[in-house]
Structure 1
Amino acid sequence: MSNLPKSALECRDVTVKFGDVTALSDVSVAFAAGQIHAVVGQNGAGKTTFARVTAGLVSPTTGAVDVMGRKIRTGHVGESRAAGVELVHQSFALPPSFTVAEAMEFGATGKGGIYSRKGLADKWRAHLAALDVQVDLNKHIRDLPIETQQGIEIARALVTDARVLILDEPTAVLSPAGIEMLFARVRRLKERGVTVILVLHKIREVLGIADTVTVLRGGRKVEGPLDIADVSAERLANLIVGDGIAKTLGQQDRDAVVGTRAASGEDADRYSEISGPTVLAMRAVSTRPDNEGIALDGIDLDIRPGEIVGIAGVEGNGQKTLVRAISALADLAGGAIGLAGHDVTTQPLANRRAIGLRIIPFERNVEGLSLTSSLWQNWSARQLLEGSLLRTIRPAAIREACDRSLKEWSVHYHTCGQRAGSLSGGNAQKVIFAREVDADAKLIIAAQPTRGLDIGATAFVWQALRRARDGGAAVLLISSDLDELFDISDRVAVMLSGRINGEFRAPFDIAAVGAAMTGATARVRA
């Protein structure tokens, strides 16, 4: 490492505190100029906070940031940008209703104005072409593929001739083909002399793109920057999760969490033909367009008892509408839905829940829990809704039952009277599982159940879903993480533009699944 060029970006003794929470603790790291650097760690390791500090969006409690050897004021976006640092967020920031040319102009200037459409297109065409972003500049951002939107975000960030480009979890919403496209773009930026820092959490991706890697855990730097040629996947996995946690997981789960899992012949043994009636039977289900997400277009989907069916796809291809349709929250335009032998096509959510529908929602802190309400109120919501209005409510008995249930699910809490908002993400998710997963559950919908969780909580969720499957429940797992889907699903269906565009059984072929996600293949069954 001694022959590397001087640092493009250096953080010295950076600590960030949000109230009583320490997000980063005494982090010191220097990134050599003109290279591709990965910053890795579990969810909650401090990666995004670190990226936001370097970009001037967060002012550290203590510490300093140098760019090209010059100390800059921390917490000042304008000064960071002037020094040549740009950040592309995981959640894209360009206005979806703007055309590409309008979005580029707005992203570069931060203000509107009076322009001709042709003039704006001419202004930005060469810049986008130089970065290999092939797009009609008069198209609206919302109508473009995710990969193209990301390319435009990167192009916007490079308008000011940035010398350091930070990409926060850039692969999280991409298909396998989209990831390869991103990495090719990053390599071209390196050739132009741009220093690229990628915030990642999958080892396979790190080994495939980075020159160096720095590992964060619990807000502290564990090691780095390490030359990628000197780091094995096994060593990096242990650095990310810690030896203590790693030993509590099976190899398969650990590999899935860190992204090193490969398909094997053993996977095929997990799937067997399951006889008996379906728990969920969707026949040609279509929904009417609304503002909540893309409409479904002729969905056929069966799930049987003792089976986990995963739903893959680039986000925004109808996954949320699928859950809403099964939950009676989307207006059907056609088709039929059967649940545990009952035709529920016209039945309300309460009736479907009484039959055995259980839901782990996409947003646990919005749809799953009332953060200002007590744990016992959140836990008892299903029982109260499904019971008779004339039923006598005994709060003391409910609190006692809640206490037993939360302990059975290993929730770390002080009292059932505390607010749900006081729990960590993992414990909040456990409360939802304690409420939703019971002996009467016939179909469990788990929508992005591990998003934002650390490896311990992630493993807990996977084990809970497997137990439910082994107990005879049917599980519909929706996830943007292919490693997660491949690890615990018996089958995987791919959604594209509101339709099922492929169905696969273990051992899963990531290339085939990826092709179905992007539309390179159509209507695949494997």
Structure 2
Amino acid sequence: MNSGSVAPPAWQCRAMTVAYGDFIALDGVDVGFERGRIHAVVGQNGAGKTTFARAIAGIVRPRQGQILVDGREIEPGKVRAARDAGVELVHQSFALPPSFTIAEAMEFGTRKHGQLFTASGLARRWTQHLAELDVTADVRSRIRDLPVETQQGVEIARALVTDADLLILDEPTAVLSPSGVERLFERVRRLKARGVTVILILHKIREVLAIADTVTVLRGGRLVAAGLARQALDPVALSDLIIGGPAAQGAEAAVGLAAGAPAEHAMASNKAAIEPIARLEDITTEGRAEAPALDHASVALHAGEILGVAGVEGNGQRSLVEALCGLAKLKEGRIMMGGRDISREDLGERRKQGLRVIPFERNSEGLSLSSALWENWAASRLLAGPLLSYIRPQRLRAQARAAFDRWSVRYAGPSQPAGALSGGNAQKVIFSRELDGQARLIIAAQPTRGLDIGATAFVWKALREARDTGAAVLMISSDLDELFDTADRLIVMLSGRVVAEFRPPYDMTRVGAAMTGAVTEALSEPLTGARP
């Protein structure tokens, strides 16, 4: 199916198949993209989206099939051939050297061997280039010191150095705040106006419907639909195409507010009169570059409630998690849990009190990608055991297998490396480990980042069930729609402080204003302030 244009596609894949051993990642995909438009490619985790992007960019060599530009076949599996044809890919994981300055990173790979340059010359050249793409940054800054949104802008600017005709962005919104997503989309629209063709690999339906001219759907490595006009799609119909058949139970809610899905909040109760499971009282922590300090922050966490944390990334959310986990040094205040002061207790002791953590980065903080699945699952149990001599791998493998089956993890076997899992299944492994019968306080940090609709619905359902069985859930997300759909109460963090509190129904304008410091909402929790 196409969008109705009779013009031949500028970029086309014919019967493209990519395999890794016996695993077929793409199966006979035949699709074309018109020049000067914004095309979204969507699908669940494992649908083949990233493989598709990497094949077009020449990083992956198809087992069979053709790639054509303006009707001319280019050599597959060759990055140089793809670049010569005008194709550039910006990866989900940023690729510029973190120790380089922006100017050095932009110059990297563009200057011919033997040419000389000066620091001032590089600065002039790349300041102008960044300005043309509306990227505001000092080109003398090092990549590692840049905010995520600026890093992405530099990555895009670097990809366009070669005057690319086709720019592919793989999951570009996964690391951005809502306002950052809007700025990215404006940048993409300006690129389109310049004649650049853009392919966006996306997960969130509302983002697809906000930016794309056409939509292509992959499922299980196969093409389901191609060139669908955005105007002819609605959120639920697109969700059905992505998931297969009528949307799976709970998946419609993961489409977000754009689909009109009702938020599932816990019934309002007088939680202020109930002793919370945990509370931070006037906490100030020591700050670091990657985790700005908490500044006299007070938070109460109640049983049977999902407390959402909103805020532009880098405003103390990570320090909040680290303080609750005992990983941040406290300068002032105390942390109470279960009626006792746990301020000086380590993470192991806090886990014994029922603390469980879904970390910010599942691949670096939640899992050891080179270790077996059963070892990842059993890690917390091994640490809690009295003696390493009592470890019984056979029993742990059986327990892990049973847990994975309960959580519907798709895996080959308990001994396979965790790095072989898709993002959604990796997150399920972490949930199967953390949400056990002793979980009383669950920290869920960006739990759906990079996940598809089905996996997102799974995560929301699991957190709601934990809430409904009496756990307190602290959910940190940069996605306001997600917080509005899931949180029973919402706090906003700004510069390490808790500056506002909201209850349903939420107002996007007011919450957004609090996130930027334009307005401060009165805090209603009586537990904030100085400790007795």
TM-score range, shorter chain: 0.7 to 0.9
What does residue 432 of structure 1 align with? Answer: 430
- 2:39 aligned partner: 37
For residues 180 and 371 of structure 1, the distance between their equivalents in structure 2, rounded to whole angstroms, comes to 33
Task: Name the TM-score, length of structure 2 as normaliser.
Answer: 0.86
Residue of structure 1 in register with 2:298 after alignment = 300
1:168 aligns with 2:165: no
Report if aligned partners of 2:45, 2:424 keep a CA contact under 8 Å in 1: no
Cα separation, 2, equivalents of 1:424 and 1:3: 36
Note if 1:272 corresponds to 2:274: no
Shift, 1:358, TM fit: 1.6
- C-alpha change, 1:92 and 1:525, in structure 2 (3 Å) is farther
**How many pairs were matched up?**
520
Q: For 1:42-57, what aligned pairs fall within 5 Å after superposition?
A: 42-57=44-59
SS at match of 2:457: helix
Structure 1's 178 and 460: CA in aligned 2 closer, same or farther, altered over 3 A?
closer
Q: Gaps (5+ residues) in structure 2?
A: 524-532
Aligned partner of residue 283 in structure 2, secondary structure: strand
Residues 325-340 of structure 1: pairs in structure 2 closer than 5 A: 325-340=323-338
Distance 1:296 1:20 in 2: 50
DSSP-derived class of the 1:260 partner: helix
Partner of 1:448: 446
Deviation at 1:393, TM superposition (A): 6.0
- One-letter identity of the residue aligned with 1:9: W
Q: CA deviation at 1:218?
A: 1.5
Q: What are the superposed Cα offsets for residues 358-394 of structure 1, whole Å, 9 maximum, x if unpaired?
A: 2223344544445666666554443443344499667
Q: 8 Å contact 1:176–1:514 — kept in the other structure?
A: no
Is the counterpart of residue 230 in structure 1 residue 228 in structure 2? no
CA deviation digits over 1:22-76, x for unaligned, max 9?
2211111111111111111222221111111111121112112112322111121
Cross-structure match for 2:527: none
Q: How does 1:212-361 map to 2 (within 5 A)?
A: 212-244=214-246, 246-249=247-250, 251=252, 253-256=253-256, 260-261=258-259, 270-274=267-271, 275-290=273-288, 293-361=291-359
- Give the stretch that moved more between structures: 402-411 or 122-131: 402-411
Cα distance in 2 for partners of 1:328, 1:449 equals 20
Kept in 2: contact 1:202–1:260 (CA 8 A):
no
Cα distance in structure 1, aligned partners of 2:401 and 2:149 = 46
> Counterpart of 2:162 in 1: which secondary structure?
coil
Of 465, 487, 493 in structure 1, the residue corresponding to residue 463 of structure 2 is 465
Q: Deviations over 1:198-236 (max 9, x none)?
A: 111222222222221111111111111122222233322
| Paired residues of 1:44 and 1:454 also in contact (CA < 8 A) | no
CA 1:363–1:144 in structure 2 vs 1: closer, same or farther (change >3 Å)? closer
Q: Is contact 1:299-1:500 (8 Å) kept?
A: yes
Deviation at 1:416, TM superposition (A): 6.3
What is the rounded CA distance, in whole Å, between the counterparts of 2:73 and 2:415 in structure 1?
Answer: 49
Are the structure 2 counterparts of residues 320 and 62 from structure 1 closer, same or farther at C-alpha, using a change threshold of 3 Å? farther
Contact 2:13 2:29 in 1 (8 A): yes
SS at match of 1:475: strand
Contact 1:263 1:507 in 2 (8 A): no
CA contact 1:6–1:33 (8 Å) conserved in 2: no
**Post-superposition offset of 1:93:** 2.8
For 2:250, the aligned partner's letter is L
Name the residue aligned to 1:183. Answer: 185
Once structures 1 and 2 are overlaid, which stretch shifts more, 112-121 or 184-193? 112-121
More off after superposition, 201-210 vs 395-404: 395-404
Give 3-state SS (helix, strand or coil) of 2:473's partner.
Answer: strand
CA deviation profile, 1:322-351 (whole Å, cap 9, x unmatched):
322211123333332112221111111222
Higher alpha-carbon deviation: 161-170 or 269-278: 269-278
Could you tell me how far 1:414 is from its partner in structure 2? Answer: 7.9
Amino acid at match of 1:249: G
Q: Distance in 2 between matches of 1:453 and 1:473?
A: 24
- Find the residue that maps to 1:38 and give its secondary structure: strand
Q: For residues 354 and 340 of structure 2, what CA distance do their matches in structure 1 show?
A: 11
Partner in structure 2 of residue 87 of structure 1: 89
- Equivalent residue of 1:243, what SS? coil
Structure 1 residue 498 displacement after superposition: 3.9
User: Cα distance, 1:427 vs. partner?
Assistant: 4.8
Residue 290 of structure 1: CA displacement? 4.5
From the superposition, tell whether residues 29 and 269 of structure 1 become closer, same or farther in structure 2 (CA, over 3 Å).
same
Deviation at 1:295, TM superposition (A): 3.6
Q: Residues 209 and 436 (structure 1 numbering): CA distance in 2 closer, same or farther, change over 3 Å?
A: closer
What is the aligned counterpart of 2:122 among 105, 120, 123?
120
State how far apart, in whole Å, the 1-side matches of 2:32 and 2:156 are.
Answer: 23
Cα distance, 1:497 vs structure 2: 4.5
Asked if the contact 1:369/1:420 (under 8 Å) is kept, the reply is: yes
2:79 paired with 1:77: yes
Secondary structure, aligned partner of 1:7:
coil
Question: Aligned pair 1:479/2:477, yes or no?
Answer: yes
Measure, in 2, the Cα distance between the counterparts of 1:391 and 1:243.
50
Higher deviation after alignment, 343-352 or 295-304 = 295-304
Report % sequence identity: 57
**Would the aligned equivalents of 2:44 and 2:219 in 1 still touch at CA under 8 Å?**
yes
Question: 1: distance between equivalents of 2:102 and 2:410?
Answer: 48
